[in-house]
Structure formats: C-alpha cells, structure tokens
C-alpha cells in the first residue's frame, strides 16, 4: 500500500469506530475532508477528535479528571474541556538526545497516510505559557517549538515533565480513553501512548494484566506459548490486545526475590524505544495459567513501577507492535535478541 495516497483505517473516523462493517481503504483526501469538515459529536459540544490544523489564539489550560486509571491530565481549554491527554514513550528519545532526534509523532509519512501530530494524535498547542488548572503541577508544564504540526507556521506544543501532550482521534468526547496503553506501530520510532498522572508526570497505566499468548516466532515460524501483557486497553477497534514480554539476561535475582539491577540495566534509550518496560499502577494481575505469587513489581530509577515475573523485570519489544486488522502482524520478534544491554528472551509458562 502506498501511504501517500491511501488511508488504511478501520474505525479511525470519528462516529464510525463502533461499526462492525468490513475494513475499507479510503483515499486520504476523502478521509481528511470527513475529519476536517465533520461537526462536533452530536452528543457533546466538545469535539475531542478535532484535528490541530491552525495556531491557537489563547493559552492552553491543562486540568485533571478522575478515570479508571486514576487521576489523569485532561485539557481544560474552551471547546476541549475534559478531553484526555497522552504522552508517547518514544518521544523520550528526543529528550535523551537534546532534541537531535525528530518527534516520534510528526507529520512524516506513515502507514495510515494521515499526519500523526495533527490528525491521528492532535498536538496540544498553546499561545503563550500554558495554564495549570487545579491539581496540575505548574512546575511540570512547559512548551516545545513545533514546525511540523501547522504547515508553514511555528507553534508551541504543551509539555508535561518534558514530554509533549496530545489528544487522540478516537476520543470523541470527554472521558473517553481509547488511547490508554496503546502500543503504537504507526509512530516512528514505535512507542506506547499513556495517560498521565499529574503529581510527577508518570504514565497512568492502571493495573497491568499478564496472560499467556500463543504466537508464531518471527511471524511465520513455529507457534510458541509465552508470557504476555494486555495492552491497547480501551481501543474500540482492537481492545485488550496481548503482546509477548521479555526478560533481560543480565538482570538476575539476588536470592531474595529482588532483582539486583532494579530495572536499571535497560534504561535511557533502551527503555525509551526498543524495549519499553511493562509498567503498572499497583499490583499487576495474573491471568489463567499464571501463578499470582510469581507476579510482582520493582520501582525503577525514574520512580515508575515495573512488572516482574519470578523476580525479573519484564519488557515489551517494539518490533512486536501491531494493531489487528490495521497494520503489522502478530508474532514473537524479540526472542534471543542480542543487544548492548544484554540478551532478551521470552518467558515460557511455568510447568
């Protein structure tokens, strides 16, 4: 498929995502016309799915709301009050390289053929310093200059704890969280979209859930049953998709059920892009065939809580990201990968 002239989307047009009609391929011009010309959702004066196609004239307001994932950041600006806000883990790469890398969600071509930063995940733009609503830590609010969101213009995007904030195309109305924990193969590089807790700017993940998954090695090889984690939690077109998890060879157990590295062996670029840690809010849950006593957490150096299995931290692999029926193929693509940080391997089910 040529991403420059087609948009391969199932349910990615607001108002159509609950449909069970077969997958269709639409021209980009038609889809963008629908998106840009579509009135606000019939049930709400607020249209959270509106694209970011022009520079704002007022400061953005960031507020908080209570959700199933805890208290999270939402937009408080007129016309967008209550719309969920997200950060993308792979944007951390730009932070780690002092801006040398491009934004992971940009207007570069992608498999869906629509700009990530203005259509799929509209950037939260501001005219002037953003305003912190009640419950928001003003010290964590900031801005970053973007020249790729609005054609021909330099605009300011709101950041929180250093990461840019976005809305999501499928969140049509306030309170929707379809982008929560979305392992996104469309961004470049691949990353995970998280809601944001306001106190420290950490991902608001909710409770992680480990399950068993059977998938083909490298997508076409023999099938293998491995430990996996449920992601894409609220994504209506493919909810609760599972992805294999991996342990790192250099992260051992000290004999008391506590990893000696405390998740520090894979951090920085390792954790930002190819091997994001599996995060959780509170104790993770064990699905069928998994002993709850084998599942735990550690506190990573950045203060986030990472899931462990039998005392070893577990990670996702960016090459496994896919959206069923939309882009990518289910499979186990990271097993046995030799990296600068060690060797990553899948986790077989306990006997």
Is beta strand 86-88 parallel, antiparallel or unpaired with respect to 203-204? unpaired
Contact 116, 149 (CB under 8 A): no
What 8-state DSSP symbol labels residue 284? P
Q: How far apart are CA 68 and CA 177, in angstroms?
A: 9
What is the pLDDT confidence band of residue 235, given thresholds at 50, 70 and 90? very high
- Which is nearest to 88 in space by CA: 124, 53, 114? 124
Question: Read out DSSP for 303-332?
Answer: S-EEEEETTEE-B--GGG--BTTTBS---B
Residue range 14-29: mean pLDDT, rounded: 33
Tens digit of each residue's pLDDT (9 = 90 or more) over 274-292: 999 999 999 999 999 999 9
**pLDDT at residue 22, as a whole number:** 27
Q: How far apart are CA 35 and CA 169, in angstroms?
A: 9
- On average, the pLDDT of the chain sits at 86
**pLDDT at residue 259, as a whole number:** 46
Sequence-ordered list of residues with C-beta below 8 angstroms from that of 328, at least 6 positions apart, any chain:
185, 321, 322
* pTM for this prediction: 0.87
- At residue 135, what are phi and psi to the nearest 5 degrees? 90, -10
- In b/e form, how buried is each residue of 210-234, taking b as 16+ CB within 10 angstroms? bbbbebebeeeeeebebbbbbbbbb
**pLDDT at residue 38, as a whole number:** 39
Lowest mean pLDDT, pick from 120-129, 197-206, 214-223: 214-223
Tens digit of each residue's pLDDT (9 = 90 or more) over 59-96: 999 999 999 999 999 999 989 999 999 999 999 999 99
Torsion sign over Cα 264, 267, 270, 276: positive
- Which is nearest to 85 in space by CA: 161, 15, 164? 164
What is the pLDDT confidence band of residue 351, given thresholds at 50, 70 and 90? confident
Question: Read out DSSP for 93-119?
Answer: HHHHTTT-SPPSSSSS--TT-S-IIII
């Amino acid at each position: 498929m040529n991403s420059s002239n087609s948009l391969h989307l199932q349910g990615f047009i607001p108002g159509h995502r609950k449909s069970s009609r077969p997958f269709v391929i639409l021209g980009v011009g038609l889809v963008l016309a629908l998106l840009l010309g579509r009135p606000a959702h019939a049930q709400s004066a607020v249209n959270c799915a509106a694209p970011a196609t022009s520079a704002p004239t007022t400061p953005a307001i960031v507020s908080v709301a209570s959700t199933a994932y805890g208290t999270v950041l939402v937009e408080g600006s007129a016309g967008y009050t209550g719309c969920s806000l997200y950060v993308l883990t792979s944007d951390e790469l730009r932070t780690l390289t002092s801006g040398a890398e491009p934004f992971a969600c940009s207007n570069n071509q992608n498999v869906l053929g629509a700009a990530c930063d203005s259509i799929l995940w509209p950037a939260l733009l501001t005219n002037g310093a953003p305003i912190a609503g009640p419950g928001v830590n003003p010290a964590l609010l900031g801005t970053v200059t973007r020249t790729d969101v609005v054609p021909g213009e330099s605009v300011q995007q709101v950041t929180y704890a250093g990461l840019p904030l976005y809305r999501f195309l499928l969140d049509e109305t306030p309170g929707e969280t379809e982008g929560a924990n979305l392992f996104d193969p469309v961004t470049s590089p691949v990353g995970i979209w998280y809601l944001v807790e306001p106190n420290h700017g950490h991902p608001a993940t909710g409770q992680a859930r480990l399950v068993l998954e059977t998938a083909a090695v490298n997508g076409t090889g023999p099938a293998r049953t491995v430990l996996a984690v449920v992601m894409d939690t609220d994504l209506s077109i493919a909810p609760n998709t599972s992805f294999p998890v991996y342990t790192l060879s250099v992260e051992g157990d000290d004999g008391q059920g506590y990893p000696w590295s405390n998740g520090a062996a894979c951090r920085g670029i390792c954790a930002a892009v190819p091997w994001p840690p599996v995060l959780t809010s509170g104790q993770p849950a064990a699905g069928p065939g998994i002993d709850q006593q084998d599942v735990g957490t550690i506190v990573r150096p950045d203060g986030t809580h990472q899931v462990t299995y039998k005392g070893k931290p577990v990670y996702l692999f960016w090459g496994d990201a896919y959206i069923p029926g939309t882009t990518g193929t289910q499979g186990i693509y990271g097993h046995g990968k030799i990296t600068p940080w060690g060797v990553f391997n899948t986790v077989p089910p306990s006997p």
